[in-house]
Amino acid sequence: MSKKNTDISKFLSYVLRHHPEAIGLSLDQNGWAVITDLILCAKKEGYIFEKSIILAIVTSSDKKRFTISTDGLHIRAAQGHSMQQVKITYKENIPPDILYHGTAARFISEIRKKGLLPMSRQYVHLSTNEVTAIQVGQRHGKPMILIIKALNMYEQGFKFFQAENGVWLTEAIPYQFIQE
């Protein structure tokens, strides 16, 4: 992805996951924004791009952070919303035996006390591989990979969901289900 598209992708993440109001954009309760409205609102803030750029970002992104509606008129972030008014209905799913969570080493003592919490997001995000977890953990400092006993949690009544991009989601993870 080009530097320009990377910058636009980061801007889209910021707006569609956290602060649509920063550019005067409205999202519906499922997180959808009208693409033409997004383009116009972004332009007022100095971000100039066309629908073709959005489509290129959506289709070329390895993380599949965004989803285009079937009619091609709307876009939303696949997961990671911090806005409580956005409640995407994810498909409940049986998780694999083990999932991974990347964090920074400096957060481990707090995780030992409270488990994994969504913090400013609606869910704790989990991956099926260590590589992704390392990448996530590196964003916050020295990475630490936590192994989550996901199937064991599920069998004890915890719900797991899977976003359209494959990211696993759950509301919280008590420490007894975490291996360091």
Same domain, yes or no, for 95 and 167?
Answer: yes
* 82 found inside a domain: no
The mean per-residue pLDDT over the stretch 1-23 comes to 90
Number of domains present in the structure of the chain:
2
Residue 98's closest CA among 165, 154, 140?
A: 154
pLDDT at 114 over 80: yes
Mean pLDDT of 33-58: 94
Among 43, 77, 111, the domain-final residue is 77
Instruction: State yes or no: pLDDT of 177 exceeds 90.
Output: yes
Q: 14-18, 22-26, 60-64, 169-173: which range is least confident on average? A: 60-64
Q: Evaluate whether residue 85 is within a structural domain.
A: no
Q: What is the pLDDT of residues 71-98, one digit of tens each?
A: 999 999 988 777 777 888 888 999 999 9
CATH of residue 72: 1.10.10.970
**What is the mean pLDDT of the segment spanning 130-142?**
90
pLDDT on residue 79: 82
The phi, psi pair for 115, rounded to 5°, reads: 80, -170
Instruction: Tell me the pTM.
Output: 0.73
The verdict on 100 and 168 lying in the same domain is: yes
